[in-house]
Structure formats: C-alpha cells, structure tokens
Amino acid sequence: MENGVGMVDDGSLMVDNKVVEHDTGVATVQTSSSYEGREFADSLEQVVKREAKEESVDETGEKLHSIRVKFLRLARRLRLTPHNVVVAQVLYRLDLAEQLRGRKGGRVSAFSFDRASTLAERLEADGNEELDFSCTIMIIGKTGVGKSATINSIFDEIKFGTDAFQIGTKKVQDVVGMVHGIKVRVIDTPGLLPSRSDQRRNEKILLEVKCFVKKTPPDIVLYIDRLDMQTGDIDDDRPLLRTVTETFGPPIWFNAIVVLTHAAYAPPDGLNGNASSYDMFVAQRSYVVQQAIRQAAGDMQLMNPVSLAENHSACRTNRAGQRVLPNGQVWKPHLLLLSFASKILAEANSVLKLQETPSGKTRTRPPPLSFLLSCLLQSGPQVKLPDEDNCDDDLVESLDSEDESEYDKLPPFVRLTKAQLAKLTKAQKKTYSDELEYREMFFMKKQFKDEKTRRKTMKRTADEANYMLSDENTEGSTGASSVPVPMPDLPLPASFTSDNPTHRYRYLDSTNPWLVRPVLDTQGWDHDVGYEGVNVERSFMVKHKYPVSFSGQITKDKKDTNIQTELASSLKHGSGKATSLAFDMQTVGNDIYCTLCGETRFINFFNNKAITGLSITLLDDVLAAGLKVKDKMIVNKRFCVVMTGGAMTAHGDIAYGGSLEAQWKDKDYLLNNSLSTLGVSIMDWHGDHVIRCNVQSHVRIGRSTNVIAQADLNNRGTGQVSIRISSSEQIQLALVALFPLMKKLIGYPQRMLYGPL
C-alpha cells in the first residue's frame, strides 16, 4: 500500500504506514521504524489467527444450524410439530450446549428458531434435497417380551416371524428399511433368560452380539420389557442386567431407551379395590425398571427415557391408522423420535467437542467440589498424647478464675429419700431441687479442676523421671509411663434371656490394644443377630512421642459392602504449635474415595489461634486439591469469632468458600454445653453463588431438659427451622409425638373417600 490513509483488517487506521488505534477514542502514533515493523507483523499475525478462529466459529455455527434443520425435518416426517415436548427439549439442549461452549471460550452464534423451522418446512415441501440421516438401533431384552414384534411394528411389515409358544430369534441378525423416508437399521438379538443359572448362556449370546456390532456400533439401544409384568419380578432380572453390564460395560446404559411393550394392558386394581390410574401404573413400572438399570450400571444418577409400545393387532388406532395407547399417545412416532434425538445430540456433541472422554471408557463423574470444600473447611479433632489435657485452654480458663475451695465452704447437705420428698410441698420441692442443682454444679467444677491438676502432676512426674533416666544413660527408657485407670462398670441387662441380647456382646477386658466392637442395627436386614458390621479401633505411640490413632469399620447388607478407614497422627513442634496428618479411605458406590489432609495449628498472639491446612482427594481417576486458612480470635472467655476461607480445584475447575461465625458460650459451658452461634457462609462454584445464614442456640432448662433451636436461610429463598427438645424426666414431652399421629388418623377417612390429594 502506498503512503496515505488505509484500513487494516482489524479495524485500525494506517497513516503513512503508521498504525493508529482508534478503538478507545484516543489515537496513538508509532514513530520508531523498527518497532513499527515488529508491531505491524505481530498485528498481521493476530489478524490472521483471529480470522481463522472466526471462520472456525462460523463453520461450527453453520453445522449446528444444519443439525437443527435436520432434526426439525425428522420431526415433520414423523408428523410431530415443534411444540412437541421431546422436540422442544432437544432444541433447548442444543441451545444450552452451544451456550456452554461459549463459556469455555467459544462464540455463541445467534440461533433463530423461525429461520430453522422455515428452512426445514421449505426443504420438506420441495423434496429436492435428500435428508442425510440414518439410524442404527440395537434391541435387547428377555425372551417373549416382544422384540421381534416391535421391529415389525416399526417397519409396518413382517420382518421377523413371531410365535407365542416358540423362541422367535435364534441368532443375531439385522434388517434395513425405510421408515417415513428415513433409513433405519435394526439389529435383532436372541432373547435372554433372567434366571441366575442361565447367565452362562446369556453371556455367550451377548459376546456374539458384541462381535456383530463391533464394525458398525449402534446409535441407540432399546431395552425391551413388558409393562404387564409384576413389579416384584424385577428382582429376578438383576442377574441378567448385571451380565449385560459386564459384557458391554456401563456405557451401554448411557445411551439406552427402556421400551415397555403390552402398553394397552389395563392396570390392576388398587389396594382399596378401585381402579388404578394408567399414568400412575406406568410411572411405577418405569421407576422399577430404571432403578434396576441404575444398580446394574453402578450410577444412581442415570435416567433412561421410557417409551411405550403395543404390537397387538387389536390395539385401537386413529384416523391415520396409527396405534394409540390408553393415554392417547401415538407410540411409534414417539419411540422413533427418542431414537433419532439421541443421535442428533451425539452429532452436536461431536461438533461442539464438549466431551473429550475416549469411546469405550466409563465416564467419570466430576467430583463434587462444593462437598469436598465443605469437608476441608471443617477441622477435625487433634490426636493428642495420653497425658495431654483434652479440654481446650480457653474453656478451662473460666474454671481457674473461680475459687477452688468454694465447694468445700458450702454447709453440709443431706439428700432426701423418695419417701421424704413425697411429704414435701411443691414450693419445698422446688427449693430442694434448686439447692441440689447448685451443689451439683460446684461439685462438677471441682471434679474438672481435680482432673486437670492430676494430669499436670502426672506429666510433671513423667518428665522428671525421663530427665533422671536420661542423665544416668539408662537403657530401655520407656518415656511417659502409663497409669492404669479403672474401667467404669458397664450396665448389665435385667436378665440373660433371649429377649435381651445385650449379654452377647459382653466380653472380658484383656491386654489386647485392639478394640473390636460390633456395629448394631436393630432395624437392619439381619433381625436375629442384630448387627451389620464390625468396628476396629486402636491408639498407640510411635517413639513414645508421636500419637497415632487408627479406626476402621466394615458394614455389609444384602446388596453392598462399605469400608471406611481413618489413620491420624500429630506432631508438636514448639510451644502452641502442632501439625496433624490424616488419611481417610472409604467406598462410594463402586469407587474408592481417598483423602490425605494435613493442618498446622499455631498461636500467633495471646488471644488468636490460626490453622492452615491442605487436602488431596482421589476419586476414581480424578484428583482434587484444596487449601484452607482458619483464624480464631478470642475476644474474652465467653465470646470468640472464627473466620475460615478455602478453595478446592480439580480438572481445571475451582470452587471457593468461606465463613464467618460468632460464638457465645455460657460461663458454665463445660457443665451444660450452652452455646449460641451466628454464622454466615458463602460458596462460589461455576459462577453460582450460595450465601447461607445460620443461627443455632443450645440452652439448658432446669436440671434435665435441653433445647436446641436452629434456623438457616440461603439466598435462593429456601431454609429450615428446627427445634429439638430432650428430657430425661418430663414424660409429658413425649406427648408431642401424638400430634402427627392424630393428624394421620383424622385425615385417613378423607383419603379413603376422595383418594390421595
């Protein structure tokens, strides 16, 4: 270009080969020739890259537009309008997927439904452009559920012979045909048997199917079952579903549709003898089949769509000759639309490249970062030495300020018997109870002080003994000697009859350091024995100065086995400084959840305690790491403020969270646990902010009544209010449970007359 005024492709002016930026309204002229050349080259390179990127974005937008037009043409051929529920949902998901890609750096093209609908209508009306679409469907299911009959109904002609008394399909075979001008290929498979003894035969059939579809995998899988099958019989299908999952892998269910045949079957009568609703009967049967598939796939969040089918010639039809179900639905277009929609969404997913998981591998669910962050922000108890005081210093300081001999200065007091209490008046009983509660409070304070003094004396004696032994170079020094503490007597049952099985779990105390206890569950699956697992615990010392705690629990029921183990230790390095390490492993469904976390506690000021922590979590093949900072500022002996903040990241995703909490403790907190808290927390994940306010108060009323009130509210307008009252003497409080029972009994006649609301 000659000297003068020109326009560069990026929209900036060029005056005598000098670039003038005008986007911000302020012109800047480059005067250095060498710098000018480099800037021009860099600008030109950026323009070329931007144009290539825009061309790629435009090409992606055009592909998505053609996919929308193709889907609308499919719907029109099936005589379904864009207002159909499935059509609207597919279009919404396509738009949502494109917006999600825009968040990841792409540009969202302007989607015009009217333009796509008009183009699809014009193309179908002209009939000049052929519809470039085909679908391959694989059908699996038990013997006799109507697989071959469903294929015949799809093509409106007999492709496979059917017989009510013989097995229809004996080998894997496919058939290709045109349905409403759409090329459809259906793979028919031999029927499977549900019994556990026939799983070897099923496995052989499924391996043949797997080899058959290896070259041309299906776009959609239809799992055929019967609507009129009894609900309890689904338990017999679990071995069959498990065999299908083991042969093809769990991904086979991620792109499957449940088809329930014999859909014109009249629902059975209800428990009260009245006719059941058809929609309710279909919903219950669909839920049972879906739940069985979820358990077989190991993914309880899986939701397979359900379609109904009726292949009998006596099924009623509409004016167009299409078979209509009792709920008024024309089932064949609905089933084909669900099948075609699955492939349409898969094509859009490949264009947008939202899923990078290679085919053939099980999808990995993203880790719940909000849950992991909440667990990280909560600090667990620190493992301490046997001679360390387990009470926090700020809790015991309130007891030290009291006069230690105050309980001893009280006048003598004689406790009355029940017969003597019965002779007292109501005012005298209240005075006696107040005096007794007052003395018990001082007695408990005295016990706390005596226990703390005893621990200090034991620690000082052990330190002096270790110091003397180290000076004498005595071999075999064992550090702090353990002091035997008498074990409290366990409550014995009233009798050793079979009605009270408590004596079964009593055992003699031994020197074995392992503590093994049963996990009781009186309402569990094993009612005769009453336990569902084993709990193992042990605490020991490493080199006489590093405490280590191990705990493990194994529980098992008829379906699952759960394992949970935890290994924790701590290290003191200086006054007021300690580091804790913990490793936790537990099973989550079919996956193993491992967490390694560590935190350091230190006192940076006299009334300030800080905690910093790290966490690494491994769930399947997803690794998540987190960091937290916590600070506790003690205003006085009864009031403190706790501030916590942290972040958790995994696979490029990150979640932030923090909380601010104010705690007000009663002056006798160690005795009655009276505590009031006011907290505010915030969580940010995927740009979604959740702000929550929580208020909780624990108040003791009288000698034997505790009231715990809690209320929380978040920015989404949801919240919860709960009040819990516990008492050991006021039996009248148990009458509160009669209110929901009376409400249930009063509303029962109304439900019998008018049915459930």
Residue indicated by tokens 């020739």: 33
Query: What percent of the chain has pLDDT above 70?
Result: 70
* pLDDT above 90 (res 679): yes
The pLDDT of residue 21: 40
Domains of the chain, first to last? 48-126 (no CATH), 134-331 (3.40.50.300), 374-381+508-631 (no CATH)
What is d(CA 587, CA 589) in angstroms, rounded to the nearest whole number?
A: 6
Spacing of C-alpha 600 from chain mean position: 29
- CA distances 78 to 184, 637, 674, Å, are 13, 76, 69
Please give the mean pLDDT across all residues of the chain: 76
Average pLDDT score over residue span 294-315:
87
The pLDDT of residue 715: 85
Number of H helices, E strands in the chain: 14, 23
* pLDDT above 60 (res 95): yes
Contact of 552 with 580, CB cutoff 8 Å: no
What is d(CA 124, CA 77) in angstroms, rounded to the nearest whole number?
A: 8
Residue 509: both structure tokens together? 């105390």
The pLDDT of residue 281: 85
* pLDDT above 60 (res 318): yes
User: Which residues 6+ apart lie within 8 Å of 15 measured at CB?
Assistant: 4, 5, 29
What is d(CA 597, CA 677) in angstroms, rounded to the nearest whole number?
A: 27
Residue 315: both structure tokens together? 């099924």
Which range, 206-210, 397-401, 448-452, 465-469, is most confident? 206-210
What is d(CA 448, CA 441) in angstroms, rounded to the nearest whole number?
A: 11
The pLDDT of residue 301: 80
Q: Please, how many CA atoms are within 13 Å of residue 119, restricted to the half-sphere of its CB?
A: 14
The pLDDT of residue 167: 63
The pLDDT of residue 662: 93
Q: What is the 3-state secondary structure (H, E, C) of 185-203?
A: EEEECCCECCCHHHHHHHH
* pLDDT tens digits for range 14-38: 434 434 343 333 333 333 334 344 4
Strand-pair partners of 646: 628, 657
Average pLDDT score over residue span 245-262:
91
* pLDDT tens digits for range 659-677: 999 998 887 776 667 888 9
Residue indicated by tokens 């015009």: 112
Give, to the nearest 10 degrees, the angle between helix 426-471 and helix 393-400.
120
pTM over 0.75: no
Q: Residue length, the chain? A: 757
The arrangement of strands across the sheet holding 256-261 comes to 173-179, 182-188, 134-141, 220-226, 256-261, 306-308
Long-range pairs for 592-601: beta carbons < 8 A, 24 or more residues apart: 592/619, 592/620, 593/617, 593/618, 593/619, 594/618, 594/619, 595/375, 597/376, 599/379, 599/628, 601/382, 601/577
Given pLDDT bands bounded at 50, 70 and 90, which one contains residue 504?
Answer: low
Find the range with the poorest average confidence among 334-338, 423-427, 719-723, 748-752. 748-752
467: helix, coil or strand? helix
What is d(CA 206, CA 243) in angstroms, rounded to the nearest whole number?
A: 9
The pLDDT of residue 168: 63
The pLDDT of residue 364: 45
Q: Where are the alpha helices (DSSP H) in 104-194?
A: 113-126, 147-155
The pLDDT of residue 307: 92
Query: What percent of the chain has pLDDT above 90?
Result: 17
Which range, 44-48, 299-303, 394-398, 455-459, is most confident? 299-303
Spacing of C-alpha 559 from chain mean position: 19
The radius of gyration of the chain from alpha carbons, rounded to an integer in Å, stands at 37
In this predicted model, which residue has the larger pLDDT, 346 or 604? 346
* pLDDT above 60 (res 53): no
* pLDDT tens digits for range 437-473: 777 777 777 777 777 778 778 777 766 776 666 655 4
Q: Which residue type occupies 571?
A: L
* pLDDT above 90 (res 552): yes
The pLDDT of residue 234: 54
* pLDDT tens digits for range 106-152: 444 545 677 888 888 888 888 777 888 999 999 999 988 888 889 98
